[in-house]
Structure 1
Amino acid sequence: MTLTIRTVVVLVAVAAAALVVPGTVVGIAVAVLAGLVIADALLARSAPRVTRTLPAVLARGVGVPLAITVQSTGGGAVRVRQPLVPDLALDAREGDGGLTATLTPRRRGRHVLPAVALRARGPLGLGAWQHRAAGEQEVTVFPDLPSARRLALAVRDGRFRDPGVRTRGPVGLGTEFERVRDYLPDDDIRQVNWRATARAGRPMSNQHRVEQDQEIMVVLDVGRLMAAPLGDRTRCDEALDAATALALVADELGDRCGALAFDDEIRRRVRPGRASGTDVIRATFDLEPSERDSDYELAFRTVGGGKRALVVVLTDLLDEAAARALVDAVPVLTRRHAVLVASARDPDIESLVDGEDADLAAAATDLLAARSRAAAAVRGAGAQVLEATPGTLNAACVRAYLYAKSRRRL
């Protein structure tokens, strides 16, 4: 039980009245006030019924609505507060009679949302009682699922294109005719079915069947280099966003997708299978970089056998020395598979090149040159290299995947 501000104000008024009224009257007033406070607090002792509503699936950096509704049993006002852990953020944490706010996860993984804290006051507003309700709730935060789903939907609808680049045919995904559909703004002019257009009185396009049951393997480096920050995220976050997009697009195209995560040992593994995008996401969403160096040869030998596939290695190309182990291990894969090494660039370093500080500009130039030499060494070992800015690596990897299918490299 706790006192309210109203009770304190009344006590101050009684104390001031003691200067002009007899002490007996003041004593009676204090006793009456004490009785009212206890009775009021007892009416607020019963915990209100609380319902907390939150979506089951959350994505890092994407706000979702959180609603807390309260049905008070004591007849008084209820103050609601939602405690948080550092990996979750709320735009409003307290409210009277309930709470409606936006919850934004800052980090992937599993987090515990603490129980709701309540301060229920009695009808007179003199006594209050503290309660905890709704209990702890585990929330699961995935990588950027909305962006990955938008990419998969764009691929399915034939709307995924390189800006400013004309394509030859329907995204290059197969040549076997499937059906005639309405023309889309991004369709190549050679897709237009002129006879169907004349009959229907509106533009119609040919859609070709996608080549299915090909294989893509996503290899995730979760060694110490992947802990490097990129703005408000890490290289590991960028890699997992790309892996999520690739897995969902593979499902849309009917391909077999698998994943392997490693540092100096194999951390997670999902064998390639049809419609395995959800399995890949659930197996990798909570991965965090370790403090260990990555053993590329171990990972590549684990992947090496089996059906020819596109192997997308999501890692960091820091410099020649750091990439030496990667370069030495790439031939293990290139003998059988098409290999793409994908990495996120650091715009903060690139911005220093044209900065006013000459020393920082020189250091940044040297670092970027070392990164370019590392990429050249990887290409020399037989792999393709893809670098993209943060936030675009997922789309760039999907684009490379579609290009590999169009050239029948899988």
Structure 2
Amino acid sequence: MKKIVGLLYKNLFLTNRFFAGLTLCVVLFLLAFFFPWMGIIPELVFWTLLTLILIDLLLLYKTAKGVFAKRHAPERLSNSDENDLGIYIENWYSFNINVGIIDEIPFQFQKRDVWFKSTLKPRERKLINYVLRPTKRGEYEFGNIRVYVKSPLGFISRRYNFEQTEMLPVYPSFLQMRKYELMAISNRLTDIGIKKMRRIGHSLEFEQVKNYVAGDDYRTINWKATARQGNLMVNSYTDEKSQHVYCVIDKSRAMKMPFEGLSLLDYAINASLVLSNVALLKEDKAGLITVAEKIGAVIPADRRPTQMNKILEVLYREKTRYLETNMELLYSTIRGVIKQRSLVVFFTNYESLPALERQLPFLKRIARFHLLLVVFFENTELKKLSEQPATDVEGIYIKTIAEKFAYDKKLIVKELTKYGIQSILTSPQNLTINTINRYLEIKARQKI
């Protein structure tokens, strides 16, 4: 008996319809006090309401388990992407029910309104889909699923609790990586902004001898094969393979700056993941180095099938540190780890020319042995300020300072170019596309 009472006490909730009926009864009793001709009408309404409530209780509680619910979630979530989740629910009652569902999502999302409403017929099953967009890597704890059931009468609501506590890791943007991979396989990279690069000459990587077709370079005609076959034959060349591509990610405080919920470090990590995957698809070898005041992870370049999993697991755990980058240690690590000329893509951020000048001696040393590509970020908020018209003295001052910082970014590009160091100045949202474009351009021009 105590168990039944406790169950009713914990999981029984009164609805707006119940309070509306109760209010109607109170009003009728008040009116009957002033208008005696109403007689027993208030009492009839009261006892009718009480009877309906008891029937509602019987309908909801005569079945021990009236509904079943379960969360459908992937094994891991993709950072900065919209991840699809779902709640499967099944009605075991013999009548139509109205349900309200609360899914206890992780606190990192800061959402308190994850409430789903639905109507189910007897024995009907439904899958309610929704999306979540995490903005930080790490472990996210999901709680229970709570289902509130109302019968057609709707005076009370019964709550069902389904324990489904689970911990889901949020990895770097592997959904973005797969999207670019599928685009590359289907030759549709131009649909998302990847440019087609015109080849300058051809590489020395011979592929095959094939029949000449209109548009082939006549300079590649193989005259010996043509004489043997009696048809024009041309040599076919392909991109040089097994070149080393290293992504070097700066984890210092310069990469802590936020943009649309993500830090610059997260943008760099997502772009590195996609670039490494594209490099492997091009049959190059991909490697990774992370650095702040000390060296973090070092993954030597390779193109084994397990390489992407290694890179993904390392990037999942990386966090921003709060000291400046030790460029001397980075230089010695690159010299010790990278044994042949490689493409080194250094993801960092500079807000002023003096910040670059402190690191420039080491960047020049790295560029002597490798093809160095420095990737850093536009300050999009300052860019917006510099483009806004000034209406007063304070506005002129703010606009001038913003333009100065934007001009410093352009000076940084010129300073790097002066020493033969390639660079990309990009907004965070265009980082991945601009980086892949430059990698494909470098491949096409055979600069590695």
TM-score tier (shorter): 0.7 to 0.9
- The question of whether the paired residues in 2 share the 8 Å contact of 1:60 and 1:104 is answered with no
Instruction: Report if the CA contact (8 A) 1:260-1:269 is conserved.
Output: yes
Separation in 1 of the partners of 2:333 and 2:131? 40
Kindly tell me: are residues 242 and 206 of structure 1, through their superposed partners in 2, closer, same or farther at Cα, counting changes over 3 Å?
Answer: farther
Larger Cα-atom Rg: 2
The counterpart of 2:13, out of the listed 2, 6, 14, is 2
Per the alignment, do residues 207 and 86 of structure 1 end up closer, same or farther by CA in structure 2, a change over 3 Å counting? farther
After superposition, the Cα gap between the structure-2 partners of 1:72 and 1:373, relative to the gap in structure 1 and judged at 3 Å, is same
1:244 paired with 2:277, answer no
2:328 maps to 297
Q: Deviations over 1:352-408 (max 9, x none)?
A: 334312222211221123223334444455532222233332222223323434454
The alignment status of 1:386 with 2:432, answered yes or no, reads no
Amino acid at match of 1:310: L
CA 1:126–1:212 in structure 2 vs 1: closer, same or farther (change >3 Å)?
same
Identify the structure with the greater helix proportion.
Answer: 2
Provide the secondary structure at the position in 2 that maps to 1:397. helix
CA distance, structure 1, for counterparts of residue 179 and residue 217 of structure 2: 26
What does residue range 354-365 of structure 1 map to in structure 2 within 5 Å?
Answer: 354-357=387-390, 358-365=396-403
Equivalent position amino acid for 1:374 in 2: I
Offset at residue 300 of structure 1 (A): 3.0
Q: Would the aligned equivalents of 1:63 and 1:102 in 2 still touch at CA under 8 Å? A: no
Q: Which residue number in structure 2 is paired with residue 94 of structure 1? A: 116
Asked if 1:103 is matched to 2:146, the reply is no
**Map 1:191-202 → 2, pairs under 5 A:** none
Letter in 2 for 1:388: T
Report the counterpart of residue 40 of structure 2 in structure 1.
21
Instruction: Identify the match of residue 85 of structure 2 among 56, 63, 66.
Output: 66
Q: RMSD across aligned C-alpha pairs, in angstroms?
A: 4.0
Q: Deviations over 1:179-212 (max 9, x none)?
A: 76999xxx976399999xxxxxxxx998633322
Aligned to 1:190: 217
Corresponding residue for residue 309 of structure 2: 278
Number of the residue aligned with 2:339? 307
What letter matches 1:177 in structure 2?
A: E
Give the 3 Å change call, closer, same or farther, for CA 178–147 of structure 1 in structure 2.
farther
How much does 1:277 deviate? Answer: 2.5
Cα displacement (A) at 1:51: 2.7
Identical positions, percent: 17
Q: Mean Cα displacement is larger for which, 125-134 or 256-265? A: 125-134
Segment drifting more, 304-313 vs 21-30 = 21-30
Hey, what's the Cα distance between the residues in 1 that align with 2:110 and 2:207? 49
Which amino acid letter does the alignment assign opposite residue 366 of structure 2? Answer: L
Q: Confirm or deny that 1:400 pairs with 2:438.
A: yes
Aligned residue in 1 for 2:61 = 42
Which of 253, 259, 265 in structure 2 is aligned with 1:230? 259
Letter in 2 for 1:297: E
Structure 1: unaligned runs, 5 residues or longer: 196-203
Write the letter of the residue equivalent to 2:40: V
Distance 1:322 1:36, change over 3 A: same
* Aligned match for 2:98, one of 69, 77, 82: 77
